[in-house]
Structure 1
């Protein structure tokens, strides 16, 4: 059930303790892909999985702004501090738990959110307020995961599949020409760069022309199937905390 479309009485009558919260970011994705790429992809994966999942689940509204200050040189990018992000997501989950939806999967579309979401899940779970598990779609697509960049082949492919009208096809070659081969500027296993503008001219990492619509369809299938497996496990898991050893 989509909370944005439901009434409170419909939510009251649900018989589930399971919720999904899509989490994205509003940030540059090169000259060819929309600022809302991480929102679109997180929502697409969440919704595709819920279509296949055979139990009632509450689907919360997406969190649209994340930890993205590393893209601040590119106009349109929005961000909040890690502390604000952790507080906002944690309190959002706590509000779901207040109504009995205390098994929560956070479906993430942005790499900059990964560490904070894991921390949020740990704090909520250890406090007993909710059992929360983060799921990042591009980590769950098999061999494709090694191609994840930024505005690169995976994100371009998935947006081409779920919202093709938002990809600026006439800018793909420019996106490719100004892209970096990898994330960061590395010396002795240390990343010297803090902002993406330090190592990519146009905000792109990876070759977006390697991301066609058919690849996007496969990515959505793989990510959704992985999320369904996770939801099944979270729904059945004993979430009580271990006793002191």
Structure 2
């Protein structure tokens, strides 16, 4: 259920258990993938998971008692992405601005009785900030809301180690969900100019701050290795994991 597609009376009359807030970024993804990749992938996983959310009954509850809706809010399309500032089209906000905006947007839902929130994230630069948002949101004395943060590429099993940036995983998921946006004629160039890993590491410390320091074209990993078949598998794994998380968030007793 997409929140933006509903009328206010639709939402009033629905039984909404949880809101899924897709969070992405507008940043470079090499010469072959769109600036909105992180937002597009987050929305795809969020909407697939929301559709699957009600498929399983609650544990210990009669089979004829069904779940309500998982509503997907409009995405947050600009995140913590200054590390890509050297590449044209990239947009970013400070972590403070990002945290405040996301937290307040989620808190507005509690006025309508939607007090469980899962942030469905598609951008690595948002991970730390979203974790803090979820903690502060859950501890806020002004409402009874509870939130957690989920990042789709951390929930794809053994594939997670291949994440990179604009590499095989993101390219594969785009090929499965938004194939028209992948510039297939630029894949070879994207692969040829890609870095092998994110950053330059010494003693467990990344010496770099910006992506231009280690990748000339913005790509980390080989996008040619990410085909549509892999993308479909990634979507299944990530959305199944998110649907399971939604059920756990709704069923969790967080009362003091």
After TM superposition, the score normalised by the length of structure 1 is 0.96
Kept in 2, the 8 Å contact 1:121–1:133? The answer is yes
Kept in 2, the 8 Å contact 1:17–1:100? The answer is no
Distance in 2 (CA, whole Å) between partners of 1:156 and 1:178 is 15
Is residue 133 of structure 1 aligned with residue 148 of structure 2? yes
Distance in 2 (CA, whole Å) between partners of 1:100 and 1:140 is 29
1:98 CA displacement: 1.7
Is residue 118 of structure 1 aligned with residue 139 of structure 2? no
Match of 2:16 in 1: 16
Match of 2:59 in 1: none
Other structure's SS at 2:117 match:
strand
Match of 2:48 in 1: 48
Kept in 1, the 8 Å contact 2:51–2:70? The answer is no
1:15 CA displacement: 2.1
Kept in 1, the 8 Å contact 2:49–2:242? The answer is yes
Match of 2:60 in 1: none
1:58 CA displacement: 2.0
1:42 CA displacement: 0.3
Kept in 1, the 8 Å contact 2:42–2:122? The answer is yes
Which of 70, 82, 90 does residue 57 from structure 1 map onto?
70
Other structure's SS at 1:223 match:
helix
1:126 CA displacement: 1.3
Q: Which runs of 5+ in 2 are unaligned?
A: 55-67
Distance in 2 (CA, whole Å) between partners of 1:96 and 1:164 is 33
Match of 1:224 in 2: 239
Deviations 1:33-90 (A, max 9, x none): 1101001100000111112121312211000000000000000001011011000000
Q: How well do the aligned residues superpose, as a CA RMSD in angstroms?
A: 0.9
Distance in 2 (CA, whole Å) between partners of 1:220 and 1:136 is 12
1:17 CA displacement: 3.7
Distance in 2 (CA, whole Å) between partners of 1:45 and 1:136 is 10
Distance in 2 (CA, whole Å) between partners of 1:101 and 1:11 is 10
**Runs of 4 or more off by more than 4 Å in structure 1?**
none
1:192 CA displacement: 1.0
Q: Which runs of 5+ in 1 are unaligned?
A: none
Superposition map of 1:23-102 within 5 A: 23-54=23-54, 55-102=68-115
Is residue 166 of structure 1 aligned with residue 146 of structure 2? no
Q: Are residues 214 and 167 of structure 1, via their aligned partners in 2, closer, same or farther at CA, if it must alter by over 3 Å?
A: same
Deviations 1:182-209 (A, max 9, x none): 1111122211100000000100001111
Other structure's SS at 1:107 match:
strand
Distance in 2 (CA, whole Å) between partners of 1:106 and 1:62 is 10
